[in-house]
Amino acid sequence: MLTITGGKWTRRSIKTTARRNTRYTPQSARKALFDIVDVTSKTFIDLFAGSGIMSFEAMSRGAVNAMSVDVSKKACNSILDNKNDLDSSMNLRIICADFRRAIPSLVRKGVGADTVFADPPFDEEYIEPLFAVLNQNPELVNNQGQLIVETSDREKKAVLEFSSLFRLVDQREYAGIVFSILVRK
């Protein structure tokens, strides 16, 4: 179980998936991130969503809508169960697809977000393909919006190497992870 760290659902529990390869952003890091990133009245997309905890953190803090994207059917079912446990009427869309298909599809439909959060599996060579898709579809991040990529310390330089259409504005390290905050150039 994970616990929402702020907003209207503070201290509410979120069930995790039974998948062994799913790694969850530590509670202290989630709280620190949402203390510096204001999602109030904004749109939010969570790539590699797992349990959907980042979407639920955003919705709890006043995001107007959120999308959780994950390739795993188990993860998508977990997100749906968590949504129903919290508030089945919340404006959260679940997309069960690989990010390489989901991102271009969303952009073709005119969908973008004020905050796009991506938490790919650490040290498994996802940074380059993630930015390949994002660099081809930068409209996923609205003008004046931000892209936040969570990586291991070993991968933080790769974010700079592959993010040709995005400019790094901040990097923060919490609980052994790195949040790279970028904007469209």
Question: Whole domain around residue 39: which residue ranges?
Answer: 2-17+24-184
Residue 53 confidence (pLDDT): 96
CA–CA separation, 17 and 153 (whole Å): 25
Query: 92-133 pLDDT, tens per residue?
Result: 999 999 999 999 999 999 999 999 999 998 888 899 999 999
**Amino acid at position 140, single letter:** L
What is the pTM assigned to this prediction? 0.94
CATH of the domain at 48: 3.40.50.150
The tens-digit pLDDT sequence of the chain (185 residues) is 899 999 999 999 998 887 666 678 889 999 999 999 999 999 999 999 999 999 999 999 999 999 999 999 999 999 999 999 999 999 999 999 999 999 999 999 999 999 999 999 888 889 999 999 999 999 999 999 999 999 999 999 999 899 889 999 999 999 889 999 999 98
- At 74 the three-state DSSP class reads helix
Helices (H), 27-173: 27-36, 53-60, 73-87, 99-108, 127-136, 156-162
**C-alpha dihedral sign at 16, 20, 21, 24:** positive
Give the number of other CB atoms < 10 A from CB of residue 147. Answer: 29
Domain count within the chain: 1
